[in-house]
Structure 1
Amino acid sequence: MSVSVRRAGERYRGGDPAAGVRTLHAFSFAGFYDPDNTRFGLLLACNEEQLAPGAGFAEHPHRDTEIVSLVLEGELEHRGEDGRATRLRAGGAQLLGAGGGVRHVERNPGGEPLRFLQMWLHPDAFGGPPRYAAAPAALPPGPGLHPLVSGDPDSPAPLRLRQAAATLHVGRGAAALPEAPFLYLHVIRGTLRVGPDTLAPGDALRAGHAPALHAQPATQDAEYAVWEMHAEPSYG
């Protein structure tokens, strides 16, 4: 049983600030490597991306990863290999299942700063065709814990993962957190209390085989993302 908190100030700072790209990494990523912080459960990356107007990521490849992006502020444009573009504003989410290989472009097409949370997850199996899906208004209004992305066939989440052991929820206000072998909580905005810990924006809580936990808002605008994971990666 373990519960630990990683503060926003402890995140690795990357990107290209001169090009209007700032990235805050929760785990080892790109040029940052810590052998004791490479993943948690099935979660391989949790990056907060900040893009200035017109900035973005030129066409680049992915494979064998489920990539979830949740727009927090501004507008995100995703362009696939077929040239089709999708734009999402705050509250929208997208899922890119990279499968055996895919290339795409992400950028800020608007006139205001863009902030989005991008999370990479280990899939059930490697290979297969890539998939893309988007939910422009992914979450219902009101408090509680709302499933957003899931591989559980019984989940009402609007986006479907190729990973049966994981579900991403977005929480507002007070909520009983899911009981799972691996629980990862990231504070999007506001201030939140979980047990004895008070969490600010960008802070994250990692709970492994922990007893039931409850999230209690310390500010009215508290919002947070929660990964519920029932497995670890299998490479055999």
Structure 2
Amino acid sequence: MPPLLRPAAERFHSQLDWLDSWHSFSFSSHYDPAWMGFGPLRVINDDVIAAGKGFGMHPHRDMEIITVMVEGELHHRDSMGHAEVLRAGEVQRMSAGTGVVHSEVNGGQAPCRLLQIWIEPASAGIPPDYEQKPFALAEGWTPLIDPQAADGAMAIHRSVRLWRAQVPAGTELAWPASERCASWLQIITGGLAQPQPLVRGDGLGLAAGEAPASVQAGADGVDLLLFELS
């Protein structure tokens, strides 16, 4: 089975006067039965939000929602009583569980960019929960999400792991995910040369047993996410 390539330009696109959003999978009014997700990975939205704008209070339930801040800042409020500012380099993890209402607004002076990710939980009806923290991206893979909160990662109610790496041009990194699990690569900026050429916004899904030995950054380096999915 060949890898599942999702070219950046073929993603769904939502454009408003305050929001530029690219959807790797079916989302909102965008629907394609061939692109409903990849295993438990249901949503990857690459959003640019104008200063002073954002999403007003709205509900979620029974979903693990992860926000990776790339540029700028986002002001978060929710029905659990949290009022936080999420800045570039930080990650937010919200378990919607039995139900949560929240808002996400760009409170900065410039546009902000983020990746919002939805993962289906292992079971429904869990208590809502919230966590955010900064991650200093050291050389190599930095674990962001882990079901056991291992190595400084945040926990999740699903057997899913998520890493981020910022890799200089031409540098090679060994593959950290289990070969027994499916995986998904998402390019934030820059590009990869191996396991195949990928550029900003591209996604690549790999079935269990298809994992490469390593990844290699392209000529401009790369900032990327890697999901281990089971």
TM over 0.5, shorter chain: yes
Instruction: State whether structure 2 residue 146 is matched by structure 1 residue 150.
Output: yes
- The match for 1:38 is 36
- The match for 1:159 is 154
Change (3 A) 1:99 1:154: closer
SS of the residue 1:156 aligns to: helix
> Aligned match of 2:96 in 95, 98, 103?
98
Q: What whole-Å deviation, never above 9, does each CA across 1:120-170 have from its counterpart, x for those lacking one?
A: 0010110021000000x22342x211110111x27214311011x100111
Once residues 37 and 220 of structure 1 are traced to their aligned partners in structure 2, the CA distance between those partners, rounded to angstroms, is 29
Deviation at 1:56, TM superposition (A): 0.2
SS of the residue 1:110 aligns to: coil
> Between the two proteins, what is the percent identity of the paired residues?
34
Deviation at 1:181, TM superposition (A): 2.8
Once residues 208 and 2 of structure 2 are traced to their aligned partners in structure 1, the CA distance between those partners, rounded to angstroms, is 7
Deviation at 1:82, TM superposition (A): 4.7
- The match for 1:215 is 215
Q: What whole-Å deviation, never above 9, does each CA across 1:38-60 have from its counterpart, x for those lacking one?
A: 01011000000110001100100
- The match for 1:233 is none
Once residues 181 and 84 of structure 1 are traced to their aligned partners in structure 2, the CA distance between those partners, rounded to angstroms, is 34
Q: Tell me if structure 1 keeps the 8 A contact 2:149–2:155.
A: no
Q: Tell me if structure 1 keeps the 8 A contact 2:48–2:114.
A: yes
Change (3 A) 1:180 1:73: farther
TM-score, L = length of structure 1: 0.89
Cα root mean square deviation, aligned: 1.5
Q: What whole-Å deviation, never above 9, does each CA across 1:208-231 have from its counterpart, x for those lacking one?
A: 12433121011354110011012x
Alignment of 1:1-236 (within 5 A): 1-15=1-15, 17-18=16-17, 20-135=18-133, 137-141=134-138, 143-151=139-147, 153=148, 155-163=150-158, 165-173=159-167, 174-177=172-175, 178=177, 179-195=179-195, 197-213=196-212, 214-230=214-230
* Structure 1: unaligned runs, 5 residues or longer: 231-236
SS of the residue 1:218 aligns to: strand
Once residues 46 and 211 of structure 1 are traced to their aligned partners in structure 2, the CA distance between those partners, rounded to angstroms, is 22
